[in-house]
Amino acid sequence: MLAALSGVAAFAMASFGYRPKPLPDFKTEKLELDSTILDVTTIAENLNVPWEMIWGPDNMIWFTDHDGKVSKLNPKTGHVTELLQIKDYYRKRLGLMSMVLHPDWKTHPQAFINYTHIQPDSVIVSKLVRYTYNGKVLIDPVLLKQIPGYLGHNGSRLVISKDRKLLWATGDLKQKETIRDPAFAHGKVLRLNLDGTIPNDNPHPGSASWAMGFRVPQGLTFTKNGNLFIAEHGDATDDEVNLVVKNGDYGWPYMAGFSDLPEEKEHAKTHKSTFPVKAWTPTIAPAGMEYYNGNISEWRNALLLSTLKDQSLRILKLDADQEEVVAEDIAFSKQFGRLRDVCVSPSGDIYISTSNRDWNPPANFPLKTDDRIIRISKSGVIPKSRRTVKTRQETKHSGASELYQNFCQSCHKTDGRGVVGSFPSLVTSARLSGDNEALIAFLLKGSQSASGEAMPAFGFLSDDQLATLLSYARSNFSTNKNTVKPDEISRVRANK
Ligand SMILES: [Ca+2]
Ligand SMILES: [Ca+2]
C-alpha cells in the first residue's frame, strides 16, 4: 500500500506544531501513503557511511561512521558535532561500528561501541568498548569484551534490554564449523551484563551465547512488548528476519531460510532449528532494523528494515502479538541508493542513512552529496475524498536481465566488471569464456576463497534459469558468445 513519490521538490510545510520549521536549505519532497502525507527531507549530507543511528537522550541523533568516528547530529539544524575518533579502529573492507547508549543516561552517561581492530600480529579482533560522555566528547574507554573478528562478516548490532542486558548480534566470520559451539562468539546473539560479564541465567553456563546459527546479522531491535527481532544476510538465498528466543538455533550454516533442500531436510531429522518469520530469495541484503509504532498510521506496529542490495526501506507489518510478519511494503526503492540504518524519534519521525560510499556501491552511486541522513515525517493527512489505495507494482523475475540483476549484479555489477580486490570481473574471466562443463560445475558448487568474497552455490536455481544466466553473462561480458543449454546443466548436475 505505497505511493510513488511526488517528485516535486519544495520547502517543508510544517503543518504540525511539535516540530520547528526546518532551515530553508533543507530540501523536502512529499510522499503519499494511503492516507498519510510524508515529508522526506535530507538533513545531513557529505557523510561517510553512517553505520549506526540512535535517538539520544538530548534529542540529537548519535551516529557512528565508516571512519571510526562518533558524532551527533542536531535534527533541527543539520549541525554535526564530532564526539570521538576511535584511534585503534581498523577497516579494510567493511566497517564495524555498532553503538548503543545506556538507558539510565542521567546516572550512566555511557556509550557501548563495537568495532574492529588489528593487532600488531595482524590478527583482526572485534572489541566492545564502553565510553563515558563528559558533556562534550566521549572519553575513558573501557574494554568490556574482545572476540575474534574478520575483514567482513562481523555483523553487528547492539541493543540493551529492559532488564539491562546487552544483546550483541555477531557475524559468522566465515567460520562455519564452530558456529554451533557456545564457546565461540561468532554467528550468535550474545548476552552480557552491562559491565561485560556473563549473566548467570544464560543458557550455557559461562558462555555469552544466547542464540546461535546466524550468518551476518546487521539488524537487531526490540518491539514494544519486548520481543527481539534480528535481520541477517543470507548467502545466495534467504536473507532472514527472525524472532530471537533464548537458546534458539537459527540454522546457519546447515539451514538457509526454511527446510526445503534435501540436505536441509536431512539435517532437520537430528537438529531442531527455528525458522525465520520472513525470508527473501532473491536476496535484498538487510541492514539496520527498528520497531515502529509512531504517528504514521500505515506503518504502525511494524519492523522498519533498511536494505543495501535492494536499496529500499522494508515495512514489515507485525501481528498483534508482535511475533509474525503479516504484510510487507517497500518504500524509496532505488531512490537514495543503499540504506544502512534506520532510527525512530519519540515523536514518530523516521531517519534513514545511506551507505553509498561503502565497499560495494551500486550503479549511479555515490552521489556527490553522499552519504546522507534523511528524515521521514508525517506532514498531513489526505482528505477522505481524495484517498486511493496505492499498490506497488510487482516486478517480474523471469527474464535474463532480471535473473542477472537478482543474483549476480550486486557483486559483478551492471557492466560485469566486479569490484577490484573483492568480486572478479566477468569481462576478463577465463572461467566464463572457457569450458562449459567446468563453468557449470563451478556455478552449481560455488567456491570459498581465502581472500575476497566467496562465490555462492547457485544449485538452487533451475536448469533453465542457470542456462539463461550463463548465456546472458557470456553474451554481455565474454568473448565466448556460445550459449549454455539447460540439458548441459542437467547433465553436470547428475554427474555431481
Ligand atoms: Ca536461519
Ligand atoms: Ca532453505
Ligand 2 centroid, distance to 279 Cα (angstroms):
9
Closest CA to 344 of 307, 293, 394: 293
Ligand 1 centroid, distance to 291 Cα (angstroms):
20
Each residue's pLDDT expressed in tens, for the chain with a length of 496 residues: 444 444 333 333 333 333 444 444 788 999 999 999 999 999 999 999 999 999 999 999 999 999 999 999 999 999 999 999 999 999 988 777 899 999 999 999 999 999 999 999 999 999 999 999 999 999 999 999 999 999 899 999 999 999 999 999 999 999 989 999 999 999 999 999 999 999 999 999 999 999 999 999 999 999 999 999 999 999 999 999 999 999 999 999 999 999 999 999 999 999 999 999 999 999 999 999 999 999 999 999 999 999 999 999 999 999 999 999 999 999 999 999 999 999 999 999 999 999 999 989 999 999 999 999 999 999 999 999 988 776 554 444 568 888 888 888 888 888 888 888 778 899 888 888 889 888 888 888 888 665 556 788 888 888 888 888 888 888 888 888 888 888 888 888 888 7
Residue 489 DSSP one-character state: H
**What string of DSSP letters covers 313-380?**
EEEEEE-TTS-SEEEEEEESTTTSS-EEEEEE-TTS-EEEEE-TTSSSPPTT-S-TT-S-EEEEEEEE
Ligand 1 centroid, distance to 255 Cα (angstroms):
6
Q: Taking the CA of residue 328 as centre, how many other CA atoms within 13 Å lie in the half-sphere pointing to its CB? A: 14
- Which ligand is closest in space to the CA of residue 251? 1
Ligand 2 centroid, distance to 260 Cα (angstroms):
5
Ligand 2 centroid, distance to 80 Cα (angstroms):
44
Ligand 2 centroid, distance to 230 Cα (angstroms):
18
C-alpha span between 152 and 174 (Å, rounded): 9
C-alpha span between 145 and 354 (Å, rounded): 29
Q: Are 253 and 172 in contact (CB under 8 A)?
A: yes
- Which ligand is closest in space to the CA of residue 187? 1
Ligand 1 centroid, distance to 254 Cα (angstroms):
9
Ligand 1 centroid, distance to 279 Cα (angstroms):
9
Ligand 1 centroid, distance to 348 Cα (angstroms):
31
- Which ligand is closest in space to the CA of residue 250? 1
Ligand 1 centroid, distance to 58 Cα (angstroms):
37
* Domains observed in the chain: 5-386 (2.120.10.30), 400-495 (1.10.760.10)
